[in-house]
Amino acid sequence: MYRKILVTGGTAVTGSALRDIQNEYPGHEFTFIGSKECNLLDRSATAAFVESLKPDAIIHFAAISGGIGLSMKHPASMLRDNVLLNFNILEAARMSGVKKTVMTLTTGMYPPDAPLPLKEDYIHAGPPHDSNYGSSFAKRLVEPAVRAYREEYGMNVIGLVPNGIFGENDNFNENDAPMVPTLIRRFYENRNTSEPLVIWGDGTPLREYTYAKDVARAFMWCLLN
């Protein structure tokens, strides 16, 4: 049913994980794109690219993301750019008649005092953590966007909420890596010293992580089912 599948964010951790396991899905033709192939911040360019490719389905992994340091330094950019990415893809899918679109949210958008285990009902139950409110509000907006595009345009679009993701091709950059690759980098760089490592936080918050290839398989299951 969905032979041609466009995967945005194809060079990042989850997109590249799906690329690595694409042979598990015979009969499907994948196109993986990063920013070099199409600037998804440009609405016209995004619409033209999707129309030229004419995919049957889109899995939208692309996002402007990073660690707490990046989120705290650039809250406006994180909010603006992620909103543009999401709506440019939704509009392109709508105009090109894409049969099914899978959007990506994040558990980082939930209120810090949300009860565990997390439920979808808690998405808008309070403000997100101050350290990443820009990107969090952008991700939260995917939920009403999915509902609105279904109601007004009859689009087949769903939103999935993965937790923390780790795996090969993760972001290990010094200034904007998320928690797991940041720790890996620090441990590696300090492997020959006895100096203590400084880690933000008091150690009490619980964090949940899933291997990128398992996240990719979950997205494919939701697309096909």
Any idea of the CA torsion for 155, 51, 170, 144, to the nearest 10 degrees?
A: -20
Average pLDDT score, the chain: 93
Range with lowest mean pLDDT among 33-37, 99-103, 157-161, 185-189: 185-189
Output DSSP code: residue 196: P
> Could you report the per-residue pLDDT of 37-66, keeping only the tens digit for each?
999 999 999 999 999 999 999 999 999 876
CA distances (Å), origin 92, targets 9, 88, 140: 16, 6, 20
Q: What is the structure's pLDDT at 204?
A: 85
Any idea of the CA torsion for 176, 177, 178, 184, to the nearest 10 degrees?
A: -150
Query: Does 52 or 68 have the greater pLDDT score?
Result: 52
pTM of the model: 0.91
- Distance (Å, whole) CA 164 – CA 180: 9
Mean predicted confidence (pLDDT) in 190-216:
89
What percentage of the chain carries pLDDT values higher than 70? Answer: 99
- Distance (Å, whole) CA 40 – CA 63: 10
Range with lowest mean pLDDT among 118-122, 155-159, 163-167, 171-175: 171-175
What percentage of the chain carries pLDDT values higher than 90? Answer: 75
- Distance (Å, whole) CA 107 – CA 122: 10
Tokens of 19: 């690329």
In sequence order, the β-bridge partners of residue 33 are 8
Q: What is the structure's pLDDT at 40?
A: 98
Query: Among 109, 114, 143, which residue's Cα sits nearest to residue 129?
Result: 109
The answer to whether residues 28 and 2 touch, using CB atoms and an 8 Å cutoff, is: yes
In sequence order, the β-bridge partners of residue 103 are 159
In sequence order, the β-bridge partners of residue 160 are 104
Most confident range, picked from 73-82, 97-106, 166-175: 97-106
Mean predicted confidence (pLDDT) in 79-88:
97
- Distance (Å, whole) CA 219 – CA 59: 8
Asked whether residue 157 carries a pLDDT value surpassing 80, the answer given is yes
